[in-house]
Chains A and B, each alone.
Chain A
Amino acid sequence: MSEHPQTLLTVTGLTRHFGRVVGCEDVGFDLWPGEVLGVVGESGSGKTTLLNCLSGILEPTAGTVSYTDRTGQVQDLYAISEPRRRFLMRTDWGMVHQNPRDGVRMRVSAGANIGERLMAVGARRYGDIRAEAGAWMERVEMDLDRMDDMPRTFSGGMLQRLQIARNLVSKPRLVFMDEPTGGLDVSVQARLLDLLRRLVTDLGLAAVVVTHDLAVVRLLAHRLAVMRRGRVVETGLTDQVLDDPQHPYTQLLVSSVLQT
């Protein structure tokens, strides 16, 4: 008797080949509303390919991604039309890229970056949009007086916060994150992680977070999938997988973390 009998995302047999090269192979899992799934593994293990297939960016060679929309209808991501898929991606999903420059429009101001997403889901009044953009800047701990500044004048940590605000302002139900704290200073990382953690809890977001950083998933993810050579070799509760890893590769991964 679960609170959420219906999954948000159901993935079965998801496979993507690049010619003879395996990107990901036979990946399956369920994700419920409010749940964060971490995907870990070394570089080249297929994490990003999987994320791209899940988020509608890259058509899989085989397998299905089913998403339950706000009305309770189950949408087969790669069976629905392209415009319909784009609509879902814009209204229901967010995507936080490792490099914020991939997710932020560098040629428009910070405020416009956030406001643009609101307009995409129907907001029209300038005053409302600006107020909401400002509220989100505060929520991700950006100075309001930077609202009209161009993103190229921002630090990496600020750019990442802007990307997060831009994603969350339209109230998505599911957010995909690719190494959201990669390439940032440790102090900035901690701040960002705390921010993400709070937002995910407060908004009841579901998320798939891809990272090679086990500390990130320990803090953010409820459940974990460990990938190696395109396949998921182990899944479970995050603390169980990290504290009692079963698969030889997971044991290697966990034991390779430097203790501080």
Chain B
Amino acid sequence: MASDPLIEVRGLVKSFTLHTQGGVVLPVLDGVDLSVEGGECVVLDGPSGSGKSTLLRSLYANYKPQGGSIRVRHRGTVVDLVSASPHRVLDVRKHTIGYVSQFLRAIPRVPALDVVAEPLRMLGVPAEAAAAKAAALLDRLRVPEPMRSLAPATFSGGEQQRVNIARSFVVDYPILLLDEPTAALDAENRATVVQIIREAIARGAAVVGIFHDAEVRDSVGDRIYRLTGYTAAA
């Protein structure tokens, strides 16, 4: 069932100019084309430094490309993240794109349960309903109840990562970007995260991810998008 892609990247160009280091220019992406449809998971692959994270971060508008377009389907319209205003991008992030980073940026003093429930609250879901959904997800990810009222800053790497994952999956985003979501997890939790990702794909989400763990990659990935790195391609 061919449908319009949820993400359509065309001719994406991204380099970094290091003004504090003599203006050195590091070209990373040069003309990347990628389409991702709903219900599929694309795995970004390539050697270290080939631009996997740069591409993923560009898809979240965390990095600012110099050229090309990233068109995403957002609430019945199409938004180009490369040229959209910050105000518009915030709306896209709120409703359409979830992002799991490698590390949780812990907010001092905010309990884990509230960290997870926050994206729902921002969408206007009432506090009790948001807390209930957050708690159910933390249950699945084996974050024990007593920990949920604590701020994640003191948690172990694996516990923080599970809070991070719960936060991004608590909303059924149409698009999910995953940067090594299972890196700090044990086998049992890794299996749970794989299951959660597969459920997201099954409900029609477009997923783009970086997974170094071959087992995870094989069990969620539909196809591989290989980045060769700018210098290798030139």
Contacts and interface: CB of A to CB of B under 8 A. Distances in A.
Contact of A248 (B19, B75, B91, B108): B19
Given A240-B62, A255-B20, A223 B86 contact: yes
Interface in B9-29: 16-20
Given A194-B109, A239-B62, A243-B63, A252 B90 contact: no
Given A3-B91, A194-B107, A251-B19, A244 B86 contact: no
B19 A240 contact: no
A102 to B, nearest CB: 26
Contacts of B129: none
Interface of B: 16-20, 57, 61-64, 75-77, 86-91, 105, 107-110, 118, 121-122
Given A219-B107, A244-B62, A237 B86 contact: yes
A190 interface: yes
Nearest to B151: A194
Interface of A: 1-3, 30, 32, 35, 190-191, 193-194, 197-198, 201, 218-219, 222-223, 235-237, 239-240, 243-244, 246-248, 251-252, 255
A191 B16 CA distance: 36
B87 A236 contact: no
Contacts of B86: 222-223, 235-237, 240
A1 B75 contact: yes
A132 to B, nearest CB: 22
Contacts of B90: 35, 222-223, 237
Given A223-B86, A255-B20, A243 B122 contact: no
Which of A30, A191, A240 has the most CB atoms of chain B within a 10 A radius of its CB? A240
Contacts of B75: 1
18 contacts: A1-B77, A2-B87, A30-B87, A191-B108, A194-B108, A197-B107, A197-B110, A201-B122, A222-B86, A223-B90, A235-B86, A240-B61, A240-B62, A240-B64, A243-B62, A244-B16, A248-B20, A252-B19
A252 B110 contact: no
A188 to B, nearest CB: 11
Nearest to A248: B19
Contact of B89 (A30, A191, A237): A237
Given A30-B87, A194-B108, A243-B57, 12 more contacts: A2-B91, A3-B91, A190-B108, A191-B109, A201-B122, A223-B86, A237-B86, A237-B90, A244-B63, A244-B64, A246-B17, A252-B19
A225 to B, nearest CB: 10
Contacts of B88: 2
A240 B63 contact: yes
Given A237-B86, A244-B62, A252 B109 contact: no
B94 to A, nearest CB: 9
Contacts of A1: 75-77
Contacts of A30: 87
Nearest to A1: B77
Contacts of B121: 201
A236 B19 CA distance: 19
Nearest to A254: B20
> What 8 pairs between A and B have smallest CB-CB spacing?
A248-B19, A190-B108, A244-B63, A194-B109, A237-B86, A251-B19, A223-B86, A251-B20
